[in-house]
Amino acid sequence: MTTRTRFAPSPTGFLHVGGARTALFCWLQARKEQGVFILRIEDTDLERSTPESVQAILDGMEWLGLDHDEGPFYQTHRFDRYAEVTKELLAAGKAYPCWCSKERLEKLREEQMAAGLKPRYDGHCRGGAEPVPGVDPVIRFRNPQVGSVVFEDRVRGRIAVSNEELDDLVIARPDGSPTYNFTVVVDDIDMGVTLVIRGDDHINNTPRQINIYEALGATPPQFAHVPMILGEDGARLSKRHGAVSVLQYREMGYLPEALLNCLVRLGWSFGDQEVFSRDEMVEHFSIDDVNRKAAAFDHTKLDWLNQHWMKTLPAGRVATELRPQFEAAGLDPAKGPALEDLVGVQAERVNTLKAMAEASRPYYEDFADFDPDAAKKHLRPVAAEPLQAIRDTLAGLAAWTPEALDAAVRETAERLEVNMGKIAQPLRVALTGSGMSPSIDLTLWLVGQERALARIDSALGFIAERAAQQR
RNA sequence: GUCCCCAUCGUCUAGAGGCCCAGGACCCUAGCCUUUCACGCUAGUAACGGGGGUUCGAAUCCCCCUGGGGACGCCA
Protein backbone atom coordinates (compact mmCIF):
# COMPACT_ATOMS: atom_id res chain seq x y z
CA MET A 1 0.00 0.00 0.00
CA THR A 2 1.41 3.37 -0.89
CA THR A 3 2.16 5.70 1.94
CA ARG A 4 -0.10 8.70 2.15
CA THR A 5 0.81 11.42 4.62
CA ARG A 6 -0.76 14.76 5.18
CA PHE A 7 0.06 18.09 6.75
CA ALA A 8 -3.05 19.68 8.21
CA PRO A 9 -2.45 23.12 9.69
CA SER A 10 -5.18 25.38 10.91
CA PRO A 11 -4.96 28.83 9.36
CA THR A 12 -5.04 30.86 12.54
CA GLY A 13 -1.59 32.35 12.07
CA PHE A 14 1.57 31.96 10.04
CA LEU A 15 3.46 28.76 9.38
CA HIS A 16 5.77 28.54 12.36
CA VAL A 17 8.93 26.50 12.63
CA GLY A 18 7.27 23.75 14.64
CA GLY A 19 4.62 23.29 12.00
CA ALA A 20 7.24 23.51 9.30
CA ARG A 21 9.19 20.66 10.84
CA THR A 22 6.07 18.53 11.09
CA ALA A 23 5.38 19.34 7.45
CA LEU A 24 8.96 18.45 6.56
CA PHE A 25 8.72 15.08 8.27
CA CYS A 26 5.43 14.33 6.50
CA TRP A 27 6.91 15.37 3.19
CA LEU A 28 10.13 13.42 3.72
CA GLN A 29 8.36 10.24 4.68
CA ALA A 30 6.10 10.47 1.64
CA ARG A 31 8.98 11.22 -0.71
CA LYS A 32 11.14 8.53 0.78
CA GLU A 33 8.49 5.90 0.28
CA GLN A 34 7.42 7.35 -3.05
CA GLY A 35 4.07 7.99 -1.53
CA VAL A 36 1.68 10.87 -1.59
CA PHE A 37 1.86 14.07 0.43
CA ILE A 38 -1.45 15.80 1.03
CA LEU A 39 -2.03 19.35 2.21
CA ARG A 40 -5.22 20.04 4.08
CA ILE A 41 -6.31 23.31 5.61
CA GLU A 42 -8.24 22.79 8.83
CA ASP A 43 -10.31 25.90 8.85
CA THR A 44 -13.40 24.74 10.71
CA ASP A 45 -12.91 27.45 13.29
CA LEU A 46 -14.61 30.22 11.35
CA GLU A 47 -13.83 32.74 14.06
CA ARG A 48 -10.10 32.41 13.98
CA SER A 49 -9.29 31.26 10.47
CA THR A 50 -8.24 33.91 8.00
CA PRO A 51 -7.46 33.92 4.28
CA GLU A 52 -4.21 35.72 5.07
CA SER A 53 -3.12 32.81 7.20
CA VAL A 54 -3.99 30.35 4.48
CA GLN A 55 -1.85 32.34 2.09
CA ALA A 56 0.98 32.59 4.60
CA ILE A 57 0.98 28.83 5.02
CA LEU A 58 0.91 28.22 1.28
CA ASP A 59 3.72 30.73 0.75
CA GLY A 60 5.77 29.20 3.53
CA MET A 61 5.39 25.70 2.13
CA GLU A 62 6.33 26.89 -1.32
CA TRP A 63 9.38 28.75 -0.12
CA LEU A 64 10.56 25.66 1.72
CA GLY A 65 9.90 23.58 -1.36
CA LEU A 66 7.58 21.18 0.43
CA ASP A 67 5.36 20.47 -2.54
CA HIS A 68 2.15 18.54 -2.06
CA ASP A 69 0.67 15.99 -4.41
CA GLU A 70 -2.95 16.45 -3.44
CA GLY A 71 -4.85 19.41 -2.12
CA PRO A 72 -4.92 21.85 -0.63
CA PHE A 73 -8.23 20.64 0.69
CA TYR A 74 -10.31 22.94 2.80
CA GLN A 75 -12.50 21.57 5.54
CA THR A 76 -14.96 24.40 5.12
CA HIS A 77 -15.73 22.96 1.67
CA ARG A 78 -16.61 19.65 3.21
CA PHE A 79 -19.30 20.56 5.72
CA ASP A 80 -21.92 18.59 3.82
CA ARG A 81 -19.80 15.51 4.07
CA TYR A 82 -19.33 15.89 7.84
CA ALA A 83 -23.05 16.44 8.27
CA GLU A 84 -23.70 13.28 6.32
CA VAL A 85 -21.37 11.23 8.51
CA THR A 86 -22.85 12.76 11.62
CA LYS A 87 -26.27 11.66 10.45
CA GLU A 88 -25.01 8.12 9.93
CA LEU A 89 -23.58 8.02 13.40
CA LEU A 90 -26.81 9.36 14.84
CA ALA A 91 -28.86 6.79 12.94
CA ALA A 92 -26.62 4.00 14.17
CA GLY A 93 -26.92 5.21 17.74
CA LYS A 94 -23.20 5.92 17.85
CA ALA A 95 -23.84 9.57 18.50
CA TYR A 96 -26.58 11.42 20.30
CA PRO A 97 -27.90 14.93 20.80
CA CYS A 98 -27.06 16.72 24.01
CA TRP A 99 -28.94 19.67 25.41
CA CYS A 100 -26.71 20.35 28.37
CA SER A 101 -26.05 24.05 28.82
CA LYS A 102 -22.55 25.44 28.88
CA GLU A 103 -23.27 26.63 32.40
CA ARG A 104 -24.05 23.13 33.57
CA LEU A 105 -20.91 21.81 31.92
CA GLU A 106 -18.81 24.54 33.45
CA LYS A 107 -20.16 23.78 36.89
CA LEU A 108 -19.57 20.09 36.37
CA ARG A 109 -15.98 20.73 35.39
CA GLU A 110 -15.36 22.79 38.48
CA GLU A 111 -16.86 20.20 40.76
CA GLN A 112 -14.79 17.43 39.24
CA MET A 113 -11.60 19.43 39.52
CA ALA A 114 -12.40 20.24 43.12
CA ALA A 115 -12.94 16.56 43.81
CA GLY A 116 -9.55 15.75 42.33
CA LEU A 117 -10.98 14.13 39.25
CA LYS A 118 -10.22 14.56 35.60
CA PRO A 119 -12.95 16.81 34.17
CA ARG A 120 -15.18 14.80 31.82
CA TYR A 121 -18.66 14.98 30.44
CA ASP A 122 -20.87 12.92 32.72
CA GLY A 123 -23.09 11.41 30.04
CA HIS A 124 -26.17 13.29 31.18
CA CYS A 125 -27.87 13.06 27.78
CA ARG A 126 -26.27 9.78 26.74
CA GLY A 127 -29.30 7.73 27.66
CA GLY A 128 -31.69 9.97 25.76
CA ALA A 129 -32.72 13.28 27.24
CA GLU A 130 -35.70 15.54 26.95
CA PRO A 131 -35.18 18.22 24.29
CA VAL A 132 -34.96 21.69 25.74
CA PRO A 133 -37.39 23.92 23.89
CA GLY A 134 -35.74 26.65 21.86
CA VAL A 135 -32.28 25.11 22.24
CA ASP A 136 -30.35 23.46 19.42
CA PRO A 137 -28.43 20.48 20.77
CA VAL A 138 -24.81 19.61 20.16
CA ILE A 139 -24.06 16.12 18.90
CA ARG A 140 -21.87 13.91 21.02
CA PHE A 141 -19.97 10.82 20.02
CA ARG A 142 -20.90 7.78 22.09
CA ASN A 143 -17.47 6.72 23.30
CA PRO A 144 -17.02 3.17 24.60
CA GLN A 145 -17.13 3.10 28.39
CA VAL A 146 -15.06 0.02 28.99
CA GLY A 147 -11.87 -1.44 27.69
CA SER A 148 -8.95 0.55 26.46
CA VAL A 149 -7.46 1.90 23.28
CA VAL A 150 -4.04 0.66 22.37
CA PHE A 151 -1.96 1.79 19.47
CA GLU A 152 1.57 1.43 18.30
CA ASP A 153 2.99 4.90 17.71
CA ARG A 154 5.88 4.90 15.26
CA VAL A 155 7.91 7.25 17.38
CA ARG A 156 6.48 6.75 20.85
CA GLY A 157 5.96 3.05 20.79
CA ARG A 158 2.99 1.43 22.47
CA ILE A 159 0.47 3.79 24.01
CA ALA A 160 -2.55 2.58 25.94
CA VAL A 161 -5.37 4.63 27.36
CA SER A 162 -8.37 3.37 29.24
CA ASN A 163 -11.75 4.34 27.85
CA GLU A 164 -12.65 5.37 31.36
CA GLU A 165 -10.34 8.33 30.84
CA LEU A 166 -12.29 9.43 27.81
CA ASP A 167 -15.71 10.99 27.53
CA ASP A 168 -18.37 11.65 24.91
CA LEU A 169 -16.87 14.43 22.88
CA VAL A 170 -18.86 16.94 20.89
CA ILE A 171 -18.63 16.28 17.17
CA ALA A 172 -21.09 18.92 15.99
CA ARG A 173 -22.03 22.28 17.42
CA PRO A 174 -25.60 23.56 17.72
CA ASP A 175 -25.32 25.18 14.29
CA GLY A 176 -24.23 21.86 12.84
CA SER A 177 -20.61 22.84 12.29
CA PRO A 178 -18.24 19.94 12.98
CA THR A 179 -15.38 19.89 15.47
CA TYR A 180 -11.75 18.99 15.05
CA ASN A 181 -11.55 15.47 16.43
CA PHE A 182 -14.35 14.46 14.14
CA THR A 183 -13.28 16.19 10.94
CA VAL A 184 -9.73 14.84 11.06
CA VAL A 185 -11.03 11.32 11.23
CA VAL A 186 -13.52 11.77 8.42
CA ASP A 187 -10.91 13.48 6.27
CA ASP A 188 -8.13 11.04 6.95
CA ILE A 189 -10.48 8.20 6.03
CA ASP A 190 -11.78 9.91 2.89
CA MET A 191 -8.32 10.95 1.78
CA GLY A 192 -6.88 7.51 2.38
CA VAL A 193 -4.22 8.73 4.78
CA THR A 194 -2.09 5.80 5.94
CA LEU A 195 0.27 7.60 8.27
CA VAL A 196 -0.60 10.52 10.49
CA ILE A 197 2.48 12.51 11.48
CA ARG A 198 1.72 15.35 13.86
CA GLY A 199 2.87 17.11 17.00
CA ASP A 200 2.78 15.16 20.22
CA ASP A 201 0.29 17.61 21.68
CA HIS A 202 -2.17 15.41 19.80
CA ILE A 203 -1.30 12.19 21.59
CA ASN A 204 -4.18 12.59 23.95
CA ASN A 205 -6.60 13.05 21.07
CA THR A 206 -5.53 9.89 19.34
CA PRO A 207 -7.42 7.32 21.43
CA ARG A 208 -10.71 9.12 21.01
CA GLN A 209 -10.07 9.46 17.30
CA ILE A 210 -9.36 5.77 17.08
CA ASN A 211 -12.72 5.13 18.69
CA ILE A 212 -14.35 7.20 15.99
CA TYR A 213 -12.52 5.28 13.27
CA GLU A 214 -13.89 2.12 14.75
CA ALA A 215 -17.41 3.47 15.01
CA LEU A 216 -17.16 4.36 11.35
CA GLY A 217 -15.99 0.88 10.49
CA ALA A 218 -12.63 2.14 9.29
CA THR A 219 -9.14 0.91 10.03
CA PRO A 220 -7.14 3.59 11.82
CA PRO A 221 -3.99 4.78 10.08
CA GLN A 222 -0.57 4.52 11.66
CA PHE A 223 0.40 7.34 13.95
CA ALA A 224 3.71 9.08 14.55
CA HIS A 225 3.73 11.78 17.18
CA VAL A 226 6.78 13.94 16.91
CA PRO A 227 8.06 15.97 19.84
CA MET A 228 7.47 19.67 19.94
CA ILE A 229 10.04 22.33 19.32
CA LEU A 230 11.01 24.50 22.24
CA GLY A 231 12.41 28.00 22.35
CA GLU A 232 15.99 28.62 23.38
CA ASP A 233 14.94 28.87 27.01
CA GLY A 234 13.36 25.43 26.91
CA ALA A 235 9.80 26.74 26.99
CA ARG A 236 7.30 26.05 24.27
CA LEU A 237 8.13 28.07 21.19
CA SER A 238 6.06 31.21 20.95
CA LYS A 239 6.07 34.76 19.68
CA ARG A 240 8.15 36.03 22.54
CA HIS A 241 11.06 33.94 21.30
CA GLY A 242 11.36 36.31 18.38
CA ALA A 243 10.99 34.87 14.95
CA VAL A 244 8.76 31.85 14.73
CA SER A 245 7.25 32.34 11.30
CA VAL A 246 8.98 30.58 8.46
CA LEU A 247 8.52 33.62 6.25
CA GLN A 248 10.25 35.76 8.84
CA TYR A 249 13.31 33.60 8.36
CA ARG A 250 13.22 34.39 4.69
CA GLU A 251 13.09 38.09 5.53
CA MET A 252 16.00 37.73 7.90
CA GLY A 253 18.05 36.27 5.10
CA TYR A 254 18.06 32.55 5.67
CA LEU A 255 18.04 30.04 2.85
CA PRO A 256 15.28 27.45 2.85
CA GLU A 257 18.00 24.81 2.49
CA ALA A 258 19.48 25.97 5.80
CA LEU A 259 16.21 26.16 7.68
CA LEU A 260 15.21 22.71 6.47
CA ASN A 261 18.61 21.33 7.41
CA CYS A 262 18.32 22.85 10.85
CA LEU A 263 14.79 21.58 11.33
CA VAL A 264 15.46 18.05 10.17
CA ARG A 265 18.16 17.64 12.82
CA LEU A 266 15.75 18.51 15.58
CA GLY A 267 14.74 15.12 16.82
CA TRP A 268 16.39 13.18 14.05
CA SER A 269 19.92 12.25 13.17
CA PHE A 270 21.89 10.06 10.83
CA GLY A 271 25.11 9.08 12.54
CA ASP A 272 27.40 12.06 12.89
CA GLN A 273 26.19 13.79 9.75
CA GLU A 274 25.16 17.39 10.30
CA VAL A 275 24.72 18.69 6.79
CA PHE A 276 21.94 17.35 4.64
CA SER A 277 20.86 18.39 1.20
CA ARG A 278 17.24 17.87 0.32
CA ASP A 279 18.13 14.67 -1.53
CA GLU A 280 20.19 13.36 1.35
CA MET A 281 17.33 13.96 3.73
CA VAL A 282 14.96 12.03 1.51
CA GLU A 283 17.49 9.25 1.17
CA HIS A 284 18.25 8.81 4.84
CA PHE A 285 15.18 9.98 6.71
CA SER A 286 12.81 7.62 8.40
CA ILE A 287 10.02 8.56 10.74
CA ASP A 288 10.94 5.51 12.79
CA ASP A 289 14.28 7.10 13.68
CA VAL A 290 12.76 10.24 15.14
CA ASN A 291 13.42 10.51 18.85
CA ARG A 292 10.94 11.28 21.57
CA LYS A 293 12.45 14.24 23.29
CA ALA A 294 11.38 17.82 22.71
CA ALA A 295 14.20 19.84 21.21
CA ALA A 296 15.12 23.50 21.52
CA PHE A 297 15.53 25.53 18.36
CA ASP A 298 19.08 26.82 18.15
CA HIS A 299 19.59 29.99 16.15
CA THR A 300 23.36 29.86 16.25
CA LYS A 301 23.29 26.49 14.57
CA LEU A 302 20.96 27.89 11.96
CA ASP A 303 23.45 30.71 11.36
CA TRP A 304 26.21 28.21 10.85
CA LEU A 305 24.16 26.09 8.50
CA ASN A 306 23.02 29.13 6.60
CA GLN A 307 26.57 30.20 5.96
CA HIS A 308 27.48 26.68 5.03
CA TRP A 309 24.76 26.58 2.42
CA MET A 310 25.56 30.06 1.14
CA LYS A 311 29.10 28.84 0.53
CA THR A 312 28.08 25.51 -0.89
CA LEU A 313 25.07 26.09 -3.08
CA PRO A 314 25.58 27.31 -6.67
CA ALA A 315 26.11 31.08 -6.57
CA GLY A 316 23.21 31.57 -8.93
CA ARG A 317 20.86 29.83 -6.54
CA VAL A 318 22.02 31.97 -3.63
CA ALA A 319 21.79 35.08 -5.79
CA THR A 320 18.12 34.36 -6.43
CA GLU A 321 17.44 34.46 -2.70
CA LEU A 322 19.71 37.45 -2.27
CA ARG A 323 17.86 39.63 -4.76
CA PRO A 324 14.89 40.40 -2.45
CA GLN A 325 17.35 41.41 0.25
CA PHE A 326 18.76 44.04 -2.07
CA GLU A 327 15.33 45.42 -2.60
CA ALA A 328 14.67 45.45 1.13
CA ALA A 329 17.97 47.25 1.71
CA GLY A 330 17.19 49.78 -0.99
CA LEU A 331 20.06 48.62 -3.18
CA ASP A 332 20.01 48.28 -6.95
CA PRO A 333 21.78 45.10 -8.10
CA ALA A 334 22.30 46.67 -11.51
CA LYS A 335 24.58 49.31 -10.06
CA GLY A 336 27.43 46.99 -9.18
CA PRO A 337 28.91 43.56 -9.70
CA ALA A 338 26.81 40.60 -10.77
CA LEU A 339 25.17 39.02 -7.73
CA GLU A 340 26.73 35.65 -8.54
CA ASP A 341 30.18 37.22 -8.30
CA LEU A 342 29.24 38.96 -5.10
CA VAL A 343 28.01 35.75 -3.51
CA GLY A 344 31.26 34.01 -4.36
CA VAL A 345 33.17 36.63 -2.41
CA GLN A 346 30.81 37.40 0.45
CA ALA A 347 29.38 34.02 1.39
CA GLU A 348 32.18 33.19 3.77
CA ARG A 349 32.04 36.54 5.50
CA VAL A 350 28.46 36.77 6.72
CA ASN A 351 25.87 34.28 7.80
CA THR A 352 22.68 35.72 6.43
CA LEU A 353 21.67 37.13 3.07
CA LYS A 354 20.45 40.22 4.81
CA ALA A 355 23.89 40.79 6.27
CA MET A 356 25.37 40.09 2.88
CA ALA A 357 23.29 42.81 1.27
CA GLU A 358 24.23 45.24 4.03
CA ALA A 359 27.92 44.39 3.82
CA SER A 360 27.84 44.86 0.05
CA ARG A 361 26.49 48.39 0.09
CA PRO A 362 29.80 50.02 -0.95
CA TYR A 363 29.84 47.99 -4.15
CA TYR A 364 26.49 49.31 -5.28
CA GLU A 365 26.32 52.87 -4.05
CA ASP A 366 28.63 55.59 -2.83
CA PHE A 367 29.13 56.09 0.86
CA ALA A 368 29.07 59.48 2.51
CA ASP A 369 31.72 59.21 5.18
CA PHE A 370 34.70 57.11 6.12
CA ASP A 371 34.36 55.17 9.32
CA PRO A 372 36.01 57.58 11.81
CA ASP A 373 38.14 54.95 13.52
CA ALA A 374 39.29 53.39 10.28
CA ALA A 375 40.03 56.77 8.75
CA LYS A 376 41.95 57.90 11.79
CA LYS A 377 44.06 54.82 11.70
CA HIS A 378 44.68 54.38 8.00
CA LEU A 379 44.00 57.60 6.11
CA ARG A 380 47.02 59.40 7.43
CA PRO A 381 49.60 61.43 5.52
CA VAL A 382 51.91 58.43 5.28
CA ALA A 383 49.25 56.67 3.25
CA ALA A 384 49.17 59.32 0.56
CA GLU A 385 52.15 58.02 -1.37
CA PRO A 386 51.09 54.38 -1.55
CA LEU A 387 47.57 55.40 -2.43
CA GLN A 388 48.77 57.63 -5.24
CA ALA A 389 51.04 54.89 -6.49
CA ILE A 390 48.37 52.24 -6.58
CA ARG A 391 45.97 54.70 -8.14
CA ASP A 392 48.33 55.28 -11.01
CA THR A 393 48.85 51.58 -11.51
CA LEU A 394 45.12 50.86 -11.39
CA ALA A 395 44.34 53.65 -13.78
CA GLY A 396 46.45 51.99 -16.43
CA LEU A 397 45.20 48.48 -15.80
CA ALA A 398 43.57 46.94 -18.84
CA ALA A 399 42.17 43.76 -17.28
CA TRP A 400 40.09 44.30 -14.13
CA THR A 401 40.33 40.77 -12.84
CA PRO A 402 41.12 39.49 -9.36
CA GLU A 403 44.38 38.01 -10.65
CA ALA A 404 45.52 41.20 -12.32
CA LEU A 405 44.47 43.26 -9.30
CA ASP A 406 46.31 41.01 -6.89
CA ALA A 407 49.42 41.32 -9.01
CA ALA A 408 49.04 45.07 -9.27
CA VAL A 409 48.82 45.53 -5.51
CA ARG A 410 51.72 43.21 -4.83
CA GLU A 411 53.96 44.82 -7.41
CA THR A 412 53.18 48.26 -6.11
CA ALA A 413 54.01 47.22 -2.57
CA GLU A 414 57.25 45.69 -3.74
CA ARG A 415 58.18 48.73 -5.76
CA LEU A 416 57.61 51.02 -2.79
CA GLU A 417 59.30 48.53 -0.51
CA VAL A 418 56.46 48.48 1.99
CA ASN A 419 54.38 45.74 3.58
CA MET A 420 51.17 44.75 1.94
CA GLY A 421 49.36 46.15 4.93
CA LYS A 422 50.73 49.60 4.35
CA ILE A 423 49.00 49.77 1.07
CA ALA A 424 46.06 47.40 1.45
CA GLN A 425 44.60 48.96 4.58
CA PRO A 426 44.47 52.58 3.39
CA LEU A 427 43.18 51.33 0.09
CA ARG A 428 40.50 49.31 1.81
CA VAL A 429 39.29 52.30 3.76
CA ALA A 430 39.39 54.42 0.63
CA LEU A 431 37.34 51.89 -1.31
CA THR A 432 34.76 50.88 1.25
CA GLY A 433 34.89 53.49 3.97
CA SER A 434 35.67 50.83 6.52
CA GLY A 435 38.58 48.77 7.71
CA MET A 436 36.89 45.48 7.03
CA SER A 437 36.28 44.00 3.61
CA PRO A 438 37.22 41.01 1.48
CA SER A 439 40.83 40.58 0.42
CA ILE A 440 42.02 43.71 -1.31
CA ASP A 441 42.10 42.29 -4.82
CA LEU A 442 38.51 41.10 -4.50
CA THR A 443 37.43 44.36 -2.94
CA LEU A 444 38.87 46.26 -5.89
CA TRP A 445 37.28 43.82 -8.27
CA LEU A 446 33.85 44.33 -6.72
CA VAL A 447 34.14 48.09 -6.54
CA GLY A 448 35.07 48.37 -10.19
CA GLN A 449 37.67 50.48 -11.90
CA GLU A 450 35.86 53.74 -12.34
CA ARG A 451 34.56 53.83 -8.78
CA ALA A 452 37.86 52.69 -7.35
CA LEU A 453 39.77 55.54 -8.94
CA ALA A 454 37.22 58.10 -7.86
CA ARG A 455 37.24 56.83 -4.29
CA ILE A 456 41.02 56.82 -4.07
CA ASP A 457 40.91 60.42 -5.21
CA SER A 458 38.40 61.22 -2.47
CA ALA A 459 40.59 59.55 0.09
CA LEU A 460 43.63 61.47 -1.09
CA GLY A 461 41.58 64.63 -0.80
CA PHE A 462 40.54 63.64 2.71
CA ILE A 463 44.15 63.07 3.74
CA ALA A 464 45.25 66.37 2.31
CA GLU A 465 42.43 68.20 4.04
CA ARG A 466 43.22 66.60 7.34
CA ALA A 467 46.91 67.45 7.00
CA ALA A 468 45.98 71.05 6.27
CA GLN A 469 43.79 71.25 9.35
CA GLN A 470 46.47 69.89 11.60
CA ARG A 471 49.01 72.33 10.37
C1' G B 1 -6.09 18.32 40.46
C1' U B 2 -6.43 13.88 36.94
C1' C B 3 -4.33 11.37 32.77
C1' C B 4 -0.41 10.96 29.07
C1' C B 5 4.60 11.78 27.60
C1' C B 6 9.85 12.97 28.19
C1' A B 7 15.00 12.97 30.70
C1' U B 8 23.36 12.15 27.72
C1' C B 9 27.97 18.37 27.38
C1' G B 10 24.91 25.46 27.53
C1' U B 11 22.28 23.64 22.66
C1' C B 12 21.31 19.66 18.69
C1' U B 13 22.63 14.73 19.06
C1' A B 14 25.59 9.40 18.79
C1' G B 15 24.91 5.45 22.06
C1' A B 16 19.78 -0.24 21.13
C1' G B 17 24.46 -4.46 28.51
C1' G B 18 30.79 -4.87 27.83
C1' C B 19 33.73 -1.39 21.63
C1' C B 20 32.15 4.56 26.44
C1' C B 21 36.88 7.10 32.69
C1' A B 22 30.82 8.45 26.75
C1' G B 23 31.72 10.16 20.20
C1' G B 24 30.24 14.22 16.60
C1' A B 25 28.29 19.21 15.64
C1' C B 26 27.01 24.38 17.14
C1' C B 27 28.58 27.93 20.76
C1' C B 28 32.87 29.48 23.68
C1' U B 29 38.44 29.73 24.55
C1' A B 30 43.57 29.35 22.77
C1' G B 31 46.98 28.76 18.74
C1' C B 32 48.08 28.62 13.44
C1' C B 33 47.09 30.93 8.65
C1' U B 34 46.69 36.19 7.12
C1' U B 35 46.89 42.90 3.99
C1' U B 36 41.66 43.90 7.62
C1' C B 37 37.28 41.17 8.82
C1' A B 38 36.00 36.53 7.86
C1' C B 39 36.91 31.53 6.07
C1' G B 40 39.97 27.40 6.98
C1' C B 41 43.08 24.30 10.15
C1' U B 42 44.69 22.49 15.13
C1' A B 43 43.87 22.06 20.25
C1' G B 44 40.89 22.74 24.68
C1' U B 45 36.59 23.37 28.30
C1' A B 46 31.97 20.80 28.91
C1' A B 47 27.13 15.67 29.96
C1' C B 48 24.82 10.07 31.28
C1' G B 49 19.17 14.48 37.06
C1' G B 50 19.02 11.52 42.11
C1' G B 51 18.21 6.88 44.69
C1' G B 52 17.32 1.84 44.64
C1' G B 53 17.43 -2.79 42.10
C1' U B 54 18.64 -6.80 37.89
C1' U B 55 23.60 -8.43 36.10
C1' C B 56 30.19 -10.85 36.37
C1' G B 57 29.23 -5.94 33.98
C1' A B 58 24.34 -0.41 32.93
C1' A B 59 24.24 5.86 29.80
C1' U B 60 21.77 1.49 27.95
C1' C B 61 16.76 -3.08 31.45
C1' C B 62 13.10 -2.48 35.97
C1' C B 63 11.12 0.54 40.17
C1' C B 64 10.74 5.05 43.01
C1' C B 65 11.83 10.23 43.42
C1' U B 66 12.87 14.80 41.19
C1' G B 67 12.54 17.93 37.16
C1' G B 68 10.26 19.33 32.44
C1' G B 69 6.37 19.17 28.73
C1' G B 70 1.48 18.06 26.99
C1' A B 71 -3.79 17.00 27.33
C1' C B 72 -8.22 17.55 30.04
C1' G B 73 -13.14 23.02 25.05
C1' C B 74 -19.41 23.70 21.51
C1' C B 75 -9.84 25.55 19.59
C1' A B 76 -7.25 23.02 16.26
Q: Which of residues 181-200 of A touch strand B (CB under 7 A)?
A: 181, 200
Q: Which of residues 104-133 of A touch strand B (CB under 7 A)?
A: 105, 109, 113, 116-121
Tens digits of per-residue pLDDT, A237-266?
766 666 678 999 999 999 999 999 999 999
pLDDT at site A3? 95
pLDDT at site A240? 61
A402-416 vs A440-447: helix axis angle to the nearest 10?
Answer: 120
On the question of pLDDT at A320 being above 90, the answer is: yes
pLDDT at site A45? 84
pLDDT at site A384? 87
Strand B reaches within 7 A of the A299 CB: no
Tens digits of per-residue pLDDT, A326-372?
999 999 999 999 999 999 999 999 999 999 999 999 999 998 888 98
Tens digits of per-residue pLDDT, A82-109?
999 999 999 999 999 999 988 899 899 8
Tens digits of per-residue pLDDT, A156-165?
988 888 898 8
Give the residue-averaged pLDDT of A135-157.
91
Active-site option among A107, A118, A239, A335: A239
Distances (CA, A) of A251 to A325, A358, A433: 8, 13, 27
The nucleotide whose C1' lies nearest the CA of A48 is B75
Strand B reaches within 7 A of the A352 CB: no
Closest residue, CA to C1' of B8: A293
Strand B reaches within 7 A of the A462 CB: no
A107 is catalytic: no
pLDDT, chain A, mean:
91
Give the residue-averaged pLDDT of A163-182.
92
Output the distance from A439 CA to B37 C1' rounded to whole Å: 9
Tens digits of per-residue pLDDT, A386-445?
999 999 999 888 889 999 999 999 989 888 888 888 899 999 999 999 999 999 999 999
User: Which pLDDT band holds residue A135 (cuts at 50, 70, 90)?
Assistant: confident
Strand B reaches within 7 A of the A174 CB: yes
Give the residue-averaged pLDDT of A197-220.
93
Percent of chain A beyond pLDDT 70? 98
Strand B reaches within 7 A of the A220 CB: no
Output the distance from A32 CA to B23 C1' rounded to whole Å: 28
> What is the C-alpha to C-alpha distance for residues A161 and A55, in angstroms, rounded to an integer?
38
Domains of chain A: 4-229 (3.40.50.620), 366-470 (1.10.10.350)
Report which of residues A133 and A39 the model is more confident about.
A39
Q: Would you give the distance in Å from CA A156 to the centre of its chain?
A: 25
User: Which helix (H) or strand (E) segment is A153 a member of?
Assistant: strand A148-153
The nucleotide whose C1' lies nearest the CA of A349 is B38
pLDDT at site A231? 80
> What is the C-alpha to C-alpha distance for residues A443 and A429, in angstroms, rounded to an integer?
11
On the question of pLDDT at A56 being above 80, the answer is: yes
Looking only at the bridges linking them, the beta strands covering A70-74 and A95-98 are unpaired
pLDDT at site A117? 83
Nucleotides of B under 7 A from a protein CB: 1-8, 10-15, 23-27, 34-40, 68-76
Looking only at the bridges linking them, the beta strands covering A70-74 and A170-172 are unpaired
pLDDT at site A230? 85
Give the residue-averaged pLDDT of A371-385.
88
Closest residue, CA to C1' of B36: A436
User: Which pLDDT band holds residue A146 (cuts at 50, 70, 90)?
Assistant: confident
User: Which pLDDT band holds residue A195 (cuts at 50, 70, 90)?
Assistant: very high
> What is the C-alpha to C-alpha distance for residues A270 and A278, in angstroms, rounded to an integer?
14
Strand B reaches within 7 A of the A418 CB: no
Phi first, then psi: what are they for A301, rounded to 5°?
A: -70, -35
Q: Which of residues 63-92 of A touch strand B (CB under 7 A)?
A: none
pLDDT at site A243? 60
Tens digits of per-residue pLDDT, A397-413?
888 999 999 999 998 98
Closest residue, CA to C1' of B11: A298
Report the SS3 class of residue A348. coil
On the question of pLDDT at A54 being above 80, the answer is: yes
pLDDT at site A128? 80
pLDDT at site A471? 60
Contact A155, A225 (CB under 8 A): yes
> What is the C-alpha to C-alpha distance for residues A451 and A366, in angstroms, rounded to an integer?
9
Kindly provide the ipTM of the predicted complex, given to two decimals.
0.92
In DSSP notation, A68-135 reads -SEEEEEGGGGHHHHHHHHHHHHHTTSEEEE---HHHHHHHHHHHHHTT-------TTTT--PPPTT-
Strand B reaches within 7 A of the A329 CB: no
Q: What is this structure's pTM?
A: 0.92
